[in-house]
Amino acid sequence: MIDKTLKQLAQALAAKEISSVELSTLFLDRIERLNPDINAFVTVDREQTLSMAAAADARIAAGTAGPLTGIPIAQKDIFCAEGWRTTCGSKMLADFVAPYNATVIEKMHRDAGLVLLGKTNMDEFAMGSSNETSFFGPVKNPWDRTRVPGGSSGGSAAAVAARLAPAATGTDTGGSIRQPAALCNLTGLKPTYGVVSRYGMIAYASSLDQGGPMGATAEDCALLLNTMAGFDVRDSTSLERPAEDYTRNLEQPLAGLRIGLPKEFFAAGCDAGVMATVQEAINEYRRLGATIVDVSLPNSHLSVPAYYVIAPAEASSNLSRFDGVRYGYRAPDYGNLDDMYMKTRAQGFGEEVKRRILIGTYVLSHGYYDAYYLQAQRIRRLIANDFVEAFKSCDVILGPTSPTTAFKLGEKSADPVQMYLSDIYTIAVNLAGLPGMALPCGFAGDLPVGLQLIGNYFDEARLLNVAHRYQQATDWHLRSPRGIE
């Protein structure tokens, strides 16, 4: 059962080959056995999980089940889940129990009947590319436990790669679904900005954050997106659009598909082994009937500097609510209110979060706003316009997800800029608000390589089709790490 896709698990549950309680117990037992080493989960509550599984079994027996009812999944610990500890990987929220559900939690668990296995580890407040900034310690990559799983959704990626959960959610502000999916041999989708509600998703950078699914296959991601997507009146950035079935185009042939290769993604800076693997994936798409065209994203080299002005600026504003007054950590000793604020924030936040708050506060300060923040927003528009122009000559854009395979734990911790460059191929997608996904396309050495596909606005169904047809022709996504039996 641990190697089955969501569709296969749904069929097994419907055929009464296994119950949701039995399936959930199987994964809970694996978490108990393997998680102490991998550190993918922060919170597991066997009693709550099995209670949800029993309710799912009752829905299946009554004939009121949905397509995914009874399937256990993991949730990134950035989504508030009522009665569950919701930490965002921070000391600031280490003991916070959410009093309400995020919309994603409501849709997936209350409405669709999925079972919550637990909350997964993550970079603190989603700030990181390696899952090393978590207050609860680093997550290890199941493919090589001396290496990072990627971040910030590293716990979700490691959990699915190690078969501790059949699928999981992540969030993506600058690559935080796609990069860990690539480093852990998974399929991960960041939808168009506004497709998935951000209500109850603890904010990092509000104009960039977007929740999305992570699983073994594109079909799994399509099924999960069906449960996650939709308008939400409680989120002012949620888009009111007709509901769609993201599985509808999965089997469509790729003949006539135009795949754009941005010359900027294929220049120097990418590991040779990664690039060779991506080139072989391009050849596979040619065999599937796609046409390859050259495109350009001339301002993409500005995406990292623009992002590291805009995202910290928004973080500086969003994280001002963590002040020790209403909820979360409060410094035990202080002299007055100002002293309490300063000590609480100094003790409650980790180094990377403090770094980004300081940067963000600086670029928003009087005299620097125009020079930095406003300029970064202008660059953001140029980057978005590059994509608009590129999509005039192609249907999807293809390239590497990450410039390297998974790097060693601690390798980039002392050099923040090197860490930030891990997301050089993913950040532009968030700045433009486009959908993007990563999928397995081979190995460099013994480590997974992820292919990135970028689509036009609201073109998730096409992206999933392009990924699905590739996965029907290859078996990279079926490979699993050794030593996780």
Average the pLDDT over 400-416 and give the result: 94
Exactly one of 76, 91, 140, 412 is catalytic; name it.
76
pLDDT band at 232 (very low <50, low <70, confident <90, very high): very high
Catalytic site includes residue 176: yes
- Please write the tens of the pLDDT for every residue from 124-133: 999 999 999 9
Q: What is the DSSP letter of 401?
A: S
Residue 396 above 70 pLDDT? yes
Q: Would you call 165 exposed, middle or buried from its count of C-beta atoms within 10 A (0-12, 13-18, 19+)?
A: buried
Beta-strand runs (E) in 234-316: 258-262, 291-295
Longest dimension (CA), the chain: 70
Beta-strand runs (E) in 371-432: 396-400
Helix (H, G, I), strand (E, B) or coil at 430: helix
For the CA atoms of 198, 200, 202, 207, the dihedral, rounded to the nearest 10 degrees, stands at 20
Residue 161 to residue 153: CA distance in whole angstroms: 12
pLDDT, position 417: 86
CATH number for domain 1-485, candidates 3.90.120.10, 3.40.50.300, 3.90.1300.10, 3.40.50.720? 3.90.1300.10
Residue 45 above 70 pLDDT? yes
pLDDT, position 485: 67
Can you spell out the DSSP letters for 293-357?
Answer: EEE--TTGGGHHHHHHHHHHHHHHHHGGG-SSSSSS---S--SSHHHHHHHHHHHHS-HHHHHHH
pLDDT, position 59: 97
pLDDT, position 32: 98
- Please write the tens of the pLDDT for every residue from 50-106: 999 999 999 999 999 999 999 999 999 999 999 999 999 999 999 999 999 999 999
- Please write the tens of the pLDDT for every residue from 310-345: 999 999 999 999 999 999 999 999 999 999 999 999
Whether residue 235 contacts residue 197, with contact meaning beta carbons closer than 8 Å, is answered with: yes
Helical packing angle, 20-38 and 154-161, nearest 10°: 120
pLDDT, position 75: 98
pLDDT, position 8: 97
What is the percent of the chain where pLDDT is above 90?
96
Q: What is the DSSP letter of 447?
A: E
Distance of CA 248 to the CA centre of its chain: 23
For the CA atoms of 254, 256, 262, 265, the dihedral, rounded to the nearest 10 degrees, stands at 20
Q: Look-up: residue for tokens 């978005």?
A: 384
Q: Positive or negative CA dihedral for 199, 235, 131, 52? A: positive
Does 152 sit behind a cis peptide bond, omega within 30 degrees of 0 on the bond before it? yes
Residue 19 to residue 127: CA distance in whole angstroms: 38
Average the pLDDT over 33-47 and give the result: 97
Catalytic site includes residue 90: no
Q: Which residues pair with 453 in a beta bridge?
A: 398, 437
Ramachandran quadrant class, 129 (left: phi over 0; alpha: psi -120 to 50; beta: rest): alpha
Exactly one of 24, 176, 197, 422 is catalytic; name it.
176
Catalytic site includes residue 152: yes
- H-helix segments, 129-212: 154-161, 178-183
pLDDT, position 268: 82
Q: Please provide residue 229's backbone torsions phi and psi, each rounded to the nearest 5 degrees.
A: -80, 160
- Mean predicted lDDT score pLDDT of the chain: 97
pLDDT, position 483: 73
Residue 262 above 80 pLDDT? yes
Residue 427 to residue 310: CA distance in whole angstroms: 12
- Please write the tens of the pLDDT for every residue from 154-212: 999 999 999 999 999 999 999 999 999 999 999 999 999 999 999 999 999 999 999 99
Q: Would you call 273 exposed, middle or buried from its count of C-beta atoms within 10 A (0-12, 13-18, 19+)?
A: middle
pLDDT, position 85: 97
Exactly one of 152, 153, 156, 422 is catalytic; name it.
152
Q: What is the pTM of this model?
A: 0.97
